[in-house]
Chains A and B, each alone.
Chain A
Amino acid sequence: MEILDCRGQRCPLPVIALARRLPDLPVGATLRVLADDPAAATDIPAWCRMRGQDYLGSPERFAFDVRRAG
């Protein structure tokens, strides 16, 4: 699984990095975003909902898994 390290970045930068990277991955692939900005836990799932991508959850603190749906 590819990991996108956005630790130390303030929102909305982790969401922007996710939006730039995810389209490069094949449909069905999962991207793990590492982000320690407190807004990431809300904004990454919200972005997935707005963009129709699959938010798979947070396996650990500051990590968020997103699967490319389309």
Chain B
Amino acid sequence: MVLPLSHLPSPTVAHYSTKVLTPLRGSARRRGYRLIVGVSEAYFDAASAAPLHPAARQALAAALDDGWADPARLYSRARRARQLLDAARGATAEVLGVRPDELSFTAGGTAAAHTAVLGGLAGRARVGGRLVHSAIEHSAVLHAAERHVAAGGTAASVGVDRLGRVDLAAFAAEVAAPGTALAALISASHEVGTVQPVAEAAEAAAAHGVPLYVDAAQSVGRGPLPSGWSILTASAHKWGGPPGVGLLVVRKGTRFLTPGPAEERTDRNADLPSLVAAAASLRAAAAEAADLADRHRALVDRIRATVAATVPDVEVVGDPAARLPHLVTFSCLYVDGEALLHALDRRGFAVSSGSSCTSSTLTPSHVLVAMGVLSHGNVRVSLHRESTAEEVDRFLAELPGIVADLRAEAGVVNL
């Protein structure tokens, strides 16, 4: 039975978490950390983690009070927890347009991606051990592919053009190769925003009986989903849900063998309050998505045009039209990405970067490398529901001076 999410209790214990967290706030303050509360800084990294949606906060508080029992047990309290889980699953499936029994909750987006790749491959091991994926998949998918190769499988990577769009002809040729068990294509690039031709890729794969896995982490909760896929994953903290909740959808009829403990797909290990919060925020985000996308698209258009016009020697990357509404990426010639990120942070702007100096491995973003675009001096701005035009305008007013100062410091003016 699918229960509506209105079945969830109203929040009654919001004061509880406040009380518990107060001492932590005090000690954090004594250690000199600035608490990031509300929008005192311009937070432009929603593609890494969106701020918690108010709907998630409400549902989390309510579910912590009412959803802590083991949903597999038979007494009333456990049945109540079970109802919450079913309601969360029903609401999430409804937003995704899938059947509730096709959806599982995982311990996060990375876990969902690993399960999707390894489970999709294992389900078709009799066909072969070959995985086809784009060169711009999220590192979680690429790490799963590496694990598959380390275990004796093979993987073929398909390149993208300068705008970051997968080479569809090459993708079609790769999925046609014998022994291909699974194909993977991200719904839209998490680094440059370019939307991928998922429906066409799915069709090409289906022509050879190959299921397509879509990492839709940047698309779920922000707009309509592509069609034709067999397996899909998402991550709640990208749409304003809590961290540590991933979604895995396996369509009926897809051959799939869950790697790891068999109970993983039955949600026995689920963090129930968090996934209730994830479901509530997904439903709220989906309801706002169209309006928000219009607003974000206008702001991102303004960033794309203004940065290109006011910052010399800058390359705005990604498809200018077929792109995610909330995300824009550009690279500034001769500028150290880490220095730029810190300079922006000092002015109250939180952004991310695909430059090598900002990564733990000191390698540039594999997405920028695959596109063949400048990787140093790279900035990704990604907006969320509380991002304002004032924040964007302040960013656009300050950025040219920040970049000019860094270039002057490095002695690279007029190069």
A residues within 8 Å of B by Cβ?
10-12, 15-16, 19-20, 37-39, 41-43, 45-47, 49-50
What are 30 A-B pairs with beta-carbon distances under 8 A? A10-B356, A11-B355, A11-B357, A11-B364, A11-B375, A12-B335, A12-B336, A12-B377, A15-B334, A15-B376, A16-B410, A19-B334, A19-B412, A20-B415, A37-B356, A39-B355, A39-B363, A39-B364, A42-B364, A42-B368, A42-B372, A43-B376, A46-B372, A46-B373, A46-B375, A47-B374, A49-B372, A50-B313, A50-B315, A50-B374
| Residues of A with C-beta under 8 A to B356 | 10-11, 37-39
Q: CA A67 – CA B356 in complex, angstroms?
A: 26
Per DSSP, are chain B's interface residues mostly helix, strand or loop, or mixed? loop
Q: What's the A-B contact tally at a CB cutoff of 8 Å?
A: 63
* CB proximity of A67 to chain B, nearest CB, Å: 18
Q: Which residues of A contact B372 (CB under 8 A)?
A: 42, 45-46, 49
Query: Quick check: is B52 within 8 A (CB to CB) of the other chain?
Result: no
Q: Which residues of A contact B334 (CB under 8 A)?
A: 12, 15-16, 19
Verify if B351 is at the interface (C-beta below 8 Å from A): no
Chain B: interface size category: 20 to 34
- Docked Cα-Cα span, A7 to B373, in Å, equals 22
For A41, give the chain B residue with the smallest CB separation: B369
The answer for the CA separation of A69 and B362 in the assembled complex, in Å, is 32
B315, B376, B412: the one contacting A11 at CB < 8 Å is B376
Interface residues of B (CB under 8 A from A): 313, 315, 333-336, 355-357, 362-364, 368-369, 372-377, 410, 412, 415
Identify A19's interface contact among B363, B376, B415, CB under 8 A: B415
Whether B415 contacts A16 by the Cβ 8 Å rule is yes
User: Are A46 and B415 within 8 A (Cβ)?
Assistant: no
